[in-house]
Amino acid sequence: MAVTAPVRVRLAPSPTGTLHIGTARTAVFNWLFARRHGGQFLLRIEDTDHERSKPEFTANILSGLQWLGLDWDGEPVIQSARVAEHRAAIEQLLASGHAYRCYATEQELTAMREQQAAANLPPRYDNRHRDLSREQQQAFRAEGRQATVRFRIDDAATISWHDLVRGEMRWSGADLGGDMVIARRAPADQIGDPLYNLVVVVDDVAMAITHVIRGEDHIANTAKQLLLYGALGAAVPEFAHTPLILNQEGRKLSKRDGVTSVNDFRQLGFLAAPLVNYMTLLGWSPPEGMEERFSLAEAAAVFDFERVNRAGARFDWDKLDWLNAQALHALAPESLRSQLLPLWTAQGWALTGPGADPAWQLELCELLAASLTRLPDGVGQAAVFFERPVANDAARTQLAVDGAGSVLAALLQALAATDQTSTALDRTALDKTAAKGLLDGAAKAAGVNKGVAMKSVRAALLGSLQGPDLLSSWVLLNKLGEDRPRLAAALN
Ligand code: GLU
């Protein structure tokens, strides 16, 4: 696709909840498109729903985007601050005859919809006040009736556009539900609160948006908005409607699915980079030859709408976990440590003595990194270093096999011997080579093979036959002064 004008796109979140994964994915596509074309990615906070909009949600949305690495250009536009412009546009539409006041009461509209339902017709406004005479209007006003402002939608109109994702789109004016309310009910000499479709168009025009990229649940709005562009005499942007995110059952991902906000994913232990990588894959596929693991910058270099699917994108936890695991395995120990430290502290693990030593913590992180899928795995797998484990069944069985006791006894003896020699290892300065030597020696002394020796020492030190590398784990426990007591306890 050839893009000529400088690209200006926007994300227009409503601050009525925390940053939703669907909004974040829309943000990703906007960001990628803007960066691909050296354009601007703008933010507009759509806070015109006064009751449901909250500053803390705005703060959450901004910090979530930041966390994901989706930096925006300039200051966010605050929609509620632009209400004078919205009203001016409504005045303009009233003056040009594209809009009119509708005095129908809530009861009248309800009765109308009930009749339609009884006749099995879809609900729509029947345009009853479209062509009121001056006298009729005055009569309604004299009654003290309030009025909405409605925008004329010609039933005979055909609305079409070339969607960057979905191709040729066509809507019939007759399918848009009749003349649309653009300002809420208010005393008839005023203009009530301007409504979504009008406000979005006025703001997109004011912000000189060139491409409107948003979820496909907005397609019908696009048809209505195109009519507004025409009536306001404004240049029409391009539109790209991105596929919905579906749950495992193939239905639209919703609050009922539990995990829907970026916060939730963060809480579950996903890192920003793999999460944003995964969100890009929700609907977009990288070109031939490009791996599925990529950074935002790498995706931005090749992103286009031709590779965005029309079909809904089913959420695949396995793929997200895989991407997260890859990212955790590759994480520098220093970064992993700063991510895990707060989680360790939250466990109430007193990080004192050698366990408070950053060097020791880094060594632990290096050991754990390779087996993590989500960050909290770095809590579960670290537990054995902060708390003495209770041996599980397999470990207890192992400690009861022939030769297990002798090997532990031999090992303790060897450790005691090294403690006495002044040139020998410091009690807590065991390294892997020395540990290996001690283990081999103990196996020999006890007359058991190395396999039995290793399993028995693992059972004694870690309380389980599974887990991280034995010698590295031992070295870490040795620094805490934890190896001797655990070996001794296993002997009893
Ligand atoms: N505030 C709207 C929403 O959150 C914006 C839709 C749009 O991008 O126009 O759905």
Angle formed by the axes of helices 483-491 and 404-420, nearest 10°? 140
Nearest-CA residue for ligand 1 atom 3 is 13
Q: What CA–CA distance (Å, rounded) separates 374 from 368?
A: 12
Same domain, 129 and 68: no
CATH number at residue 418: 1.10.10.350
CATH number at residue 98: 3.90.800.10
Give the pairing of strands 211-215 and 238-242: parallel
Contact 483, 477 (CB under 8 A): yes
Q: From ligand 1's centre to the CA of 196, what distance in Å? A: 9
Backbone angles phi, psi at 246, to 5 degrees: -110, 155
Q: From ligand 1's centre to the CA of 92, what distance in Å? A: 24
**End-to-end Cα distance, the chain:** 75
428 belongs to a structural domain: yes
Residues 291-304, buried b or exposed e (16+ Cβ, 10 A)? eebbebeebbeebe
Q: What does the pLDDT look like over 168-192, one tens digit per residue?
A: 999 999 999 999 999 999 999 999 9
| Radius of gyration from C-alpha coordinates of the chain | 33
Among 125, 160, 195, the domain-final residue is: 195
Res 424: pLDDT? 47
Q: What CA–CA distance (Å, rounded) separates 86 from 96?
A: 16
Same domain, 27 and 98: no
Of residues 339, 327, 405, 335, the one with CA closest to residue 372 = 327
Same domain, 108 and 133: yes
CATH number at residue 376: 1.10.8.70
Q: What does the pLDDT look like over 233-244, one tens digit per residue?
A: 999 999 999 999
Question: Which residue range is the domain that position 337 belongs to?
Answer: 331-386
Both tokens assigned to 302:
């090749």
Res 426: pLDDT? 73
Percent of the chain with pLDDT over 70: 99
DSSP assigned state of 252: B
Res 45: pLDDT? 98
Tally of domains in the chain: 4
Contact 274, 326 (CB under 8 A): yes
Among 264, 286, 321, the domain-final residue is: 321
CA 241 to chain centre: 19
Q: From ligand 1's centre to the CA of 58, what distance in Å? A: 14
DSSP assigned state of 45: E
Res 423: pLDDT? 54
281 lines ligand 1 (CB under 6 A): no
Same domain, 188 and 94: yes
226 belongs to a structural domain: no
234 belongs to a structural domain: no
Res 264: pLDDT? 94
Same domain, 60 and 109: no
CA 13 to ligand 1: nearest atom: 4
Q: From ligand 1's centre to the CA of 12, what distance in Å? A: 5
Same domain, 308 and 356: no
CA 23 to chain centre: 8
269 belongs to a structural domain: yes
For 233: left if phi > 0, alpha if psi spans -120 to 50, otherwise beta; the answer is left
Same domain, 145 and 47: no
218 lines ligand 1 (CB under 6 A): yes
Same domain, 297 and 338: no
Contact 242, 29 (CB under 8 A): yes
Consecutive sets of 10 residues in the chain, 492 residues long: mean pLDDT of each? 83 96 97 98 95 96 98 98 98 98 97 96 96 97 97 97 98 97 97 97 98 96 98 98 92 82 95 98 96 97 96 94 97 96 92 89 96 96 95 97 96 87 69 95 96 97 95 96 95 86
Q: From ligand 1's centre to the CA of 221, what distance in Å? A: 10
53 belongs to a structural domain: yes
Res 361: pLDDT? 96
Nearest-CA residue for ligand 1 atom 7 is 12
Contact 464, 389 (CB under 8 A): yes
237 lines ligand 1 (CB under 6 A): no
Res 255: pLDDT? 76
Mutate to test the pocket of ligand 1, among 19, 23, 33, 46 (most ligand atoms within 8 A of CB): 46
Give, for 77, the enclosing helix (H) or strand (E): strand 77-78
Same domain, 123 and 153: yes
Res 425: pLDDT? 52
Give, for 416, the enclosing helix (H) or strand (E): helix 404-420
Contact 294, 276 (CB under 8 A): no
2 belongs to a structural domain: no
Among 361, 386, 411, the domain-final residue is: 386
